[in-house]
A and B are shown apart, each in its own frame.
Chain A
Amino acid sequence: MSDPVNSIAEWLRMILSSWGLSEGLITVILGVLGVVILASFVLIVDIMLVWIERKIVARFQDRFGPNRVGPYGVLQPIADVIKLLIKEDIMPNGADKFIFNIAPIIALAAVLLLWAVVPLAPTIIGADINVAVLYVVAIGSLGTLAIIMAGWASNNKYALLGAFRTVALLIAYEVPMIIALLVPVLLARSMGMQTIVAAQSTWYIFVVPLAAVILFISSIAELGRTPFDISEAESEIVAGFHIEYTGMKFGLFYAGELLHALTVSALISTLFLGGWRGPFVDQVPILGPVYLFIKSFFVYYLIMWIRYSFPRVRIDQMLGFNWKFLTPLALCLLIVVAILDKLLVGTSQAVYVLVMLGANLMIVWATVLILRKYARVERKRIGEERPVAVPPDTESSELVGQE
């Protein structure tokens, strides 16, 4: 019983073939069953995420969070779902009905599709395709499309502006994200997720920590979370592209965003933190998903921590940061990793890890030096004497007081 998923699948396959169904039909039926179970599991975790997010943001802000509905507020998400379901669905004037309705469906479906390639255990994975990393990027771009559709179909100036600014931000941060995804592919020599996890005898975060950091920062921007949440900045663009969405449609966008954060955490854990790797996982494969979720929740906690500690960054600062800092840094890291990997062929594992780690730290150190020089120049430019208002001298204020 150490691998219940595959044992149940085999047993079902035996039963179905004993009924006389053809091989292909059995595969399709088992596939449908697998899809339904995976999607339901993921959506239930998504509902729990609402509670986790609200409790943790409350603790960061030194308050309680939901604690009325059920013990410790655990049933709060159910109350939220019921509220969203019974709210009226308002379609704004002049909205493009079909696109207005499909945009939230595509937004959530795109996030669900990402779970097809996440390896849950050495033997449990939805689809172990050999181009999984690029599949992740492709599905991400479908999510971007949903935002354009939502912004355009709302027939609202703010929605349109918000949607296009969001999309400009998302496509900008895809470049360092794809480069940072290329680094584990290069180290593992394959784009398939199971192969990358199997190749991580030392977790890649100890081999190329800079790539993990770049992927982490780009993913936060891709999720649209603070400090990059220009798409939902209430004070600036009044809720952005989902301004005209009410009820469950808004709920789908919101749930999709939370689930996207967890999915991205799962992907970062798979690529850099060793995925399902942990003690005893080869003998008892069912421990695989447990380890994966522990690591994913750790990364998700980091994302939330950053969200509730940092102020928002301006759009031109965000784009400048991406094109002038992250992209050259990521490309430089890629070149260094590629050349070093070829030079270190045949050395032992320990030497390899230490040299790579050392190279990463040297790149970080060089970057910090360049930034300090640039900051010194900027500070000198800004810190020149500027005319300031001079306070009134004391004699005249005494005169005023005597009045």
Chain B
Amino acid sequence: MTVLQVIFLITAVVTLGGAVLVVTVRNLIHAALWLILTLFGVAVMYGLLSATFFTVIQVVIYIGAIAILMIFAIMLTRRVKQEAGSSVNKGWWLAGLMSLVLFTALVWMFSTWSGFQTTLPVMPANVDMVKVLGTALVSPNGYVIPFEIASVLLLAALIGAVVVAWERKS
């Protein structure tokens, strides 16, 4: 049991525990804070996979922007501090059965996947992965079309959000 495995197990427990608490806790703001802990756990996972750029990006975008956006959205709703009533509805046994089926199917599919046995390509030692990513993002043989389409997608998101959320002051 190497140290990396121990760290991975602790991070996995924290992430999954946080995710479970997000959906079961009654107070909305507490749910948002548990979500932030879960996102932080995912960031640590990226770090364990040596994708350090994505560790910081996860914190910057998910925790620094999206979580704050969610908290603002929660604040916009009035008097919905606590969800009253039972957390499960009448059809809970059906939902539980379907989740179990899905889980079993996924476990079986992953156990027969050959990807776990393939060896990863060896990276040369002193390569800065961010440089490689940068070159790939804008090279015509690389991902330049998705790069530009991403900007159009962001523009569409911006305009769409303004159309949906903004009300003109008359």
Contact = CB atoms under 8 A, between A and B. Distances in A.
Q: Bound pair: A and B?
A: yes
Interface of A: 24, 96, 99, 129-131, 134-135, 137-138, 140-142, 144-145, 148-149, 152, 164, 167, 171, 174, 190-191
Interface of B: 3, 29, 33, 36, 52-53, 55-57, 59-60, 63-65, 67-68, 71-72, 75, 128, 130
17 contacts: A24-B3, A129-B52, A130-B130, A131-B52, A131-B55, A134-B53, A137-B64, A141-B60, A141-B63, A142-B59, A144-B68, A145-B36, A145-B63, A145-B67, A145-B68, A171-B64, A190-B128
A142 B53 contact: no
B65 A171 contact: yes
Contacts of B57: 134
Contacts of B56: 131, 134-135, 137-138
Given A135-B56, A137-B64, A148-B68, 6 more contacts: A96-B29, A130-B128, A130-B130, A141-B60, A142-B63, A145-B36
B20 to A, nearest CB: 18
B60 to A, nearest CB: 5
Contacts of A152: 29
A171 B63 CA distance: 12
Contacts of A174: 64
A148 B71 contact: yes
Nearest to A129: B52
A335 to B, nearest CB: 14
B34 to A, nearest CB: 12
Contacts, number: 54
A134 B60 contact: yes
Nearest to A140: B64
B59 A141 contact: yes
A140 B60 CA distance: 9
B130 A141 contact: no
B75 A164 contact: yes
Contacts of A167: 68
Contacts of B67: 145
A171 to B, nearest CB: 6
B130 A138 contact: no
A164 B59 contact: no
A305 to B, nearest CB: 30
Contacts of A191: 130
B1 to A, nearest CB: 13
Given A148-B68, A164-B72, A131 B36 contact: no
B158 to A, nearest CB: 13
A191 B60 CA distance: 15
A117 B84 CA distance: 46
Contact of A99 (B33, B65, B72): B33
Nearest to B128: A130
Contact of A138 (B33, B36, B64, B75): B64
B68 A138 contact: no
B40 to A, nearest CB: 9
A141 to B, nearest CB: 3
Contacts of B36: 145
A18 B58 CA distance: 41
Contacts of A24: 3
Nearest to B72: A164
Contacts of A190: 128
B53 A131 contact: yes
A153 to B, nearest CB: 9
Contacts of A171: 64-65, 68
Contacts of B53: 131, 134
A118 to B, nearest CB: 16
A96 to B, nearest CB: 8
Contacts of B75: 164
B19 to A, nearest CB: 18
Contacts of A129: 52
